[in-house]
């Protein structure tokens, strides 16, 4: 009998039997409020009837079309439909399976399109576990430790994490842009840099929204030096932050390449890349692709996901419930000085635990996270120190469920 490898780690002890909307039910029949959404994937909730119906119909029609062999209709329909939600200039797309693959494909595209080799990523960023994506990742050492050498040509610039530095947002942005400018005349000469890659909200690195002025500053520098701006919207896309795309919180910071995954297909493995026709034309035919990319059932689920997001007004709901959640969590934090910062955008909210002298308090975050699970609320931790407890419920979450989660959280941190 084979057993699971210890290389995998499970955040909660829950053995899940089924999912229903904002809840999962374990094998003993206990219901949990799922504020992890499969790490931000089940955007329309678990097993939304419309997504289920679309997937079932597609399973009975065509499961695997293989787009480098034959083209199939769900993929073409999805490409067309994404045109309604993507920035208008990004009118060419292709599909893969996971966020990591799409990140690697974005680097491949940026290098081909610019003829340059370097990529600048930002401290605390998470872009995936495959070797190229891991090379861009600094959200925690476990992603990189002991597996090098990783993909070369990567340089890191500071991320404006104002709370950690103890600065105002303006100070953090000014510092980070100054350091980036220095990097571009030192370790990463601007003429060698193909792309900047950034998450609109630092995700695994601690749920820190990227200040709009920083994204705008990157856009300016990208334009000045012929560098491409890649927005890794794997976690922030598809309504998660209360706008359809996370980068839309910063005016005028439209990326050249946008990466989407997670919430895109409500749980089916699907990722995608979007860029302009001009940019994509610089990638030679056959230089991108993969056996399972753009799977027909996943594309059908993504089309249904787009319908549900639109019909149920889920982007607006994410903004509204996100504010309610943050407000509730701030009240909890006011009574618990160990929660030193509550922050987020839309339904991507982090609670950072610190000791009285401001050091990351991993132990307190770990205890609160475990206590919440015991009380029926599933959460995740993040940040390089694992001292941020994050909440990332499905976009269908209702006010009562937000209030219930906040009440459980208040009990969990008291315990």
Binding residues for ligand PMP, rule: CB under 6 A, are 39, 98-100, 103, 126-128, 199, 203-204, 232, 234-235, 261
Cβ closer to ligand PMP: 58 or 100?
Answer: 100
Distance CA 351, CA 348 (A): 10
In the bound complex, what is the minimum distance in angstroms from residue 128's beta carbon to ligand PMP? 4
Cβ closer to ligand PMP: 95 or 401?
Answer: 95
Distance CA 202, CA 382 (A): 10
Cβ closer to ligand PMP: 263 or 338?
Answer: 263
Distance CA 72, CA 299 (A): 10
In the bound complex, what is the minimum distance in angstroms from residue 346's beta carbon to ligand PMP? 15
Distances from the Cα of 22 to the Cα of 394, 396, 400, angstroms: 6, 7, 11
Which tokens hold the place of 72? 């199939």
In the bound complex, what is the minimum distance in angstroms from residue 13's beta carbon to ligand PMP? 21
In the bound complex, what is the minimum distance in angstroms from residue 170's beta carbon to ligand PMP? 25
Distances from the Cα of 358 to the Cα of 168, 205, 387, angstroms: 16, 18, 12
Q: Which residue is nearest to ligand PMP (CB)?
A: 99
Cβ closer to ligand PMP: 234 or 257?
Answer: 234
In the bound complex, what is the minimum distance in angstroms from residue 261's beta carbon to ligand PMP? 5
Closest CA to 324 of 304, 344, 308: 344
Number of H helices, E strands in the chain: 13, 17
Cβ closer to ligand PMP: 34 or 361?
Answer: 34
278 Cβ partners below 8 Å, 6+ apart? none
Cβ closer to ligand PMP: 86 or 340?
Answer: 86
The secondary structure of 221-257 as a DSSP string is HHHHHTPEEEEE-TTTTTTTTSSSSGGGGSTT---SE
In the bound complex, what is the minimum distance in angstroms from residue 133's beta carbon to ligand PMP? 6
């Amino acid at each position: 009998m084979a057993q699971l490898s210890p290389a995998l780690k499970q955040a909660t002890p829950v053995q899940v039997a089924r999912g229903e909307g904002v809840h999962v039910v374990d094998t003993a029949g206990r219901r949990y409020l799922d504020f992890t959404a499969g790490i931000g994937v089940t955007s329309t909730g678990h097993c939304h009837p419309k997504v289920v119906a679309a997937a079932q119909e597609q399973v009975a029609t065509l499961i695997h079309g293989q787009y480098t062999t034959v083209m199939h209709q769900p993929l073409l329909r999805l490409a067309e439909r994404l045109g309604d939600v993507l920035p208008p200039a990004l009118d060419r797309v292709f599909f893969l399976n996971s966020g990591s693959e799409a990140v690697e494909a974005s680097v491949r595209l940026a290098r081909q399109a610019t003829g340059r080799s370097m990529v600048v990523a930002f401290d605390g960023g998470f872009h995936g576990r495959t070797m190229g994506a891991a090379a861009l990742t600094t959200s925690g050492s476990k992603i990189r430790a002991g597996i090098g050498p990783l993909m070369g040509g990567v340089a890191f610039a500071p991320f404006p994490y104002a709370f950690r530095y103890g600065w105002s947002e303006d100070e953090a942005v000014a510092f980070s842009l100054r350091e980036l400018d220095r990097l571009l005349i030192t370790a990463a000469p601007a003429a060698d840099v193909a792309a900047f890659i950034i998450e609109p909200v630092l995700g695994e690195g601690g749920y820190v929204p990227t200040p709009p002025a920083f994204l705008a500053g990157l856009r300016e520098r990208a334009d000045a030096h012929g560098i491409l701006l890649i927005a890794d919207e794997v976690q922030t896309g598809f309504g998660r932050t209360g706008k359809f795309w996370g980068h839309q919180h910063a005016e005028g910071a439209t990326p050249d390449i946008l990466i989407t995954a997670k919430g895109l297909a409500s749980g089916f493995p699907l990722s995608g890349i979007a860029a302009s026709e001009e940019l994509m034309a610089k990638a030679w035919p056959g230089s991108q692709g993969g056996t399972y990319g753009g799977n027909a059932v996943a594309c059908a689920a993504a089309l249904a996901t787009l319908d549900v997001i639109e019909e149920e007004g889920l982007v607006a709901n994410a903004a509204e419930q996100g504010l309610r959640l943050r407000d509730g969590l701030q009240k909890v934090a006011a009574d618990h000085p160990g929660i030193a910062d509550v922050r987020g955008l839309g339904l991507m909210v982090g609670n950072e635990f610190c000791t009285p002298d401001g050091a990351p308090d991993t132990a307190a975050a770990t205890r609160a996270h475990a206590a919440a699970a015991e009380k029926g609320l599933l959460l995740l931790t993040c940040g390089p120190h694992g001292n941020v407890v994050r909440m990332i419920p499905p976009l269908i979450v209702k006010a009562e469920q937000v209030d219930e989660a906040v009440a459980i959280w208040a009990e969990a941190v008291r315990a």
